[in-house]
Amino acid sequence: MSSMITTATWVPRGFAAPFPTKYNFDEAEFERIAELAKLQLDDANEDLEEAQEQEGGAQLTGDAPEGTNAKSSSREEDPNPIDIDDDDLKEYDLEHYDDDDDQPEGQRMDMFGNIKSLAYYESNKDDPYITLPEGQDEDDDREELQILATDNLLLAAKVEDELAHLEVYVYEDGADNLYVHHDIMLPAIPLCVEWLDLPVSKPNVEKDSTANFVAIGTMDPDIEIWDLDTIDCMYPNTILGQGGNPEGEMKKKKKKKAKKANDEYHVDAILSLAANRKHRNLLASASADKTVKLWDLNTAKCAKSYSYHTDKVCSLAWHAVESTVLLSGSYDRTVVAADMRAPDAKVPRWGVESDVENVRWDPHDPNFFFVSTENGIIHYHDVRNAPSTPEASKPLWTLQAHDESLSAFDINTNIPGYMATGSTDKTVKLWNITPAGPALVVSRNLDVGKVFSTTFAPDPEVGFRLAVAGSKGTMHIWDTSTNASVRLAFAHKMANTPEADVEDKLIGVADDDVDEGDENGIGAGEDEAESMDED
């Protein structure tokens, strides 16, 4: 079975409910799902009508040809019929098998024989043969679903054969344990995942309260938002886009709509999502339809649409201080830093040598940002030095991090200067960014195939944990603080420095057969001559 993890993200500690609730399918929920699913049902009916029209209106009537006995034609005559007059069968009196015979007086025949001997109790507590107390099974299930305050959730978008779903992992750092808590079925191949701390379309909950939700972008043009604290859900809480508006103009078959960009919803795959942590009701989305859209999660409507790029927009990042400034990268080989409050203003634009893969603000100095590209290069720019034209862009430094596409990239928010990169060359590299530029600390092949996701844990207690996943469909968490080269480079930033002889710690789920001893590593001392060009 072929599988892959396309993207992953962490959930900070303290947001997950200690005991997630089971999905409750009541009448109100049924009506909500019926409305949200109406568009898909209309699509299916129109598909059926189109198929019938293409076949010339031919219909299957099921009538048998004239002069033919339908009963006899549907089955062949049995060559060995049963003879009910057979002497061996007569003793069973099969002809009167179903007749109701009066039972002899004084004797009652039941399915279970002498049923009067059975004892009944009003409560299971009074029955001596029932030893398990009532509700114990429910209590056991509740304990299995429990999430502790010291646990982290890790969300991984996974594809197995033709099945797409979001796996919700629980990482127990103290026990070195990683397991799948529950999963969510998805309609198409997932491409991006963004955690939300706002309750979206959740009844009887204050809009400003904190919550544990996830927004998922797929090959479909709609964005699904799910409640991570409710398991076995049948349908998302909200759908942003055309699929979430079955009424009014949205009744028309969406497949028939021309794939033309508009101001209300996306018409192509969702490639990136970015939640605004200061204005919590705002979610930005980037699409293959070349637009960036800003969604109001309180109304589940598109607040504004932007067309800053001429090709697919693949990555987004909100500025940490100027919370209305959004960084966007595109396949048109440009990066834009735009203020969402001024959609008509001229935006600063930087150019790179190939398609953009990821953009990130420097979490320790918001005046700078990173850009990773398809040819394995990372650019580091000062947002205050905007070029007159994209071609005139001059980064502070560039780094040839990998020889192939730089498909995964992250900056540690807890440890200044700590950067991780992953590539389709199947390697993960850790970097120490110094005033002179980035220096390679260690390179590893973690046996996840082509690397599609490298993300640092968000909490200081697990700041050195790196989640890595890729084309083999396995998720691993690398405790990079156990690596000798990492300890050497970041010893002054570690609260408790591990012993020198500790081996690299790599944690996967129980089903993942990972032989840590087979991993090939290159220490910083073995390869410090990584090419880097400075401008």
Give the model confidence (pLDDT) of 274-331 as tens digits: 999 999 999 999 999 999 999 999 999 999 999 999 999 999 999 999 999 999 999 9
CA angle 4, 356, 401 (to 5 degrees): 75
9: CB partners within 8 A, 6+ apart = 154, 155, 193, 194, 195, 455
Residue 57: pLDDT over 70: no
Taking the C-alpha atoms of residue 84 and residue 86, their distance in angstroms, rounded to an integer, is 5
Stated pTM of the model: 0.76
415: CB partners within 8 A, 6+ apart = 463, 464, 490, 493
| The pLDDT of residue 286 | 98
**What is the b/e burial string over 236-269, where b = at least 16 CB atoms within 10 angstroms of the residue's CB?**
bbbbbbbbbbbeeebeeebeeeeeeeeeebbbbb
Whether the CB-CB separation of 422 and 8 falls below 8 Å is answered with no
Nearest residue to 454 (alpha-carbon basis) of 8, 4, 46: 8
| The pLDDT of residue 520 | 40
Taking the C-alpha atoms of residue 386 and residue 325, their distance in angstroms, rounded to an integer, is 14
Residue 61: pLDDT over 60: no
Strand partners for 180: 169
| The pLDDT of residue 234 | 82
Whether the CB-CB separation of 255 and 222 falls below 8 Å is answered with no
Q: Give the H or E element holding residue 518.
A: none
Q: For tokens 């759908």, what's the residue?
A: 239
Summarize pLDDT for 394-433 with one digit per residue, the tens. 999 999 999 999 999 999 999 999 999 999 999 999 999 9
Whether the CB-CB separation of 237 and 226 falls below 8 Å is answered with yes
| The pLDDT of residue 53 | 79
Taking the C-alpha atoms of residue 32 and residue 15, their distance in angstroms, rounded to an integer, is 26
Nearest residue to 288 (alpha-carbon basis) of 347, 217, 359: 217
Q: How many Å from the N-terminal Cα to the C-terminal Cα in the chain?
A: 47
Q: Give the H or E element holding residue 72.
A: helix 70-73
User: Tokens at residue 37, please?
Assistant: 């699913």
When pLDDT is averaged across residues 365-387 and rounded to a whole number, the result is 96
Neighbours of 7 (CB within 10 A): 23
Taking the C-alpha atoms of residue 423 and residue 374, their distance in angstroms, rounded to an integer, is 9
* Residue 50's pLDDT band (cuts 50, 70, 90): confident
Q: What secondary structure does DSSP assign to 228-262, as a single string?
A: TTEES-SS-SEEESGGG--SGGGGS-GGGS-----
- The DSSP secondary-structure symbol of 200 reads -
Strands 21-22 and 230-231: parallel
Percent above pLDDT 90 for the chain: 59
| The pLDDT of residue 535 | 39
306: CB partners within 8 A, 6+ apart = 291, 292, 293, 294, 338, 340, 343
Question: What separation in angstroms does the CA of 187 have from each of 232, 386, 508?
Answer: 15, 41, 27
When pLDDT is averaged across residues 142-161 and rounded to a whole number, the result is 89
3-24+142-249+259-508: CATH class: mainly beta
Q: Give the H or E element holding residue 450.
A: none
Residue 36: pLDDT over 60: yes
- Name the average pLDDT for the chain: 82
* Residue 106's pLDDT band (cuts 50, 70, 90): very low
| The pLDDT of residue 232 | 85
CA angle 457, 215, 234 (to 5 degrees): 115
When pLDDT is averaged across residues 228-249 and rounded to a whole number, the result is 79
Summarize pLDDT for 183-201 with one digit per residue, the tens. 999 999 999 999 999 999 8
Residue 252: pLDDT over 50: no
Strands 230-231 and 437-444: unpaired
Residue 162 one-letter amino acid: E
Q: Give the H or E element holding residue 114.
A: none
* Strand arrangement, sheet containing 325-330: 313-318, 325-330, 334-339, 349-351
Say which range, 116-125, 358-367, 402-411, has the weakest mean pLDDT.
116-125
User: Tokens at residue 96, please?
Assistant: 């009167």
Taking the C-alpha atoms of residue 194 and residue 215, their distance in angstroms, rounded to an integer, is 5
Whether the CB-CB separation of 394 and 534 falls below 8 Å is answered with no
| The pLDDT of residue 47 | 72
Taking the C-alpha atoms of residue 208 and residue 280, their distance in angstroms, rounded to an integer, is 8
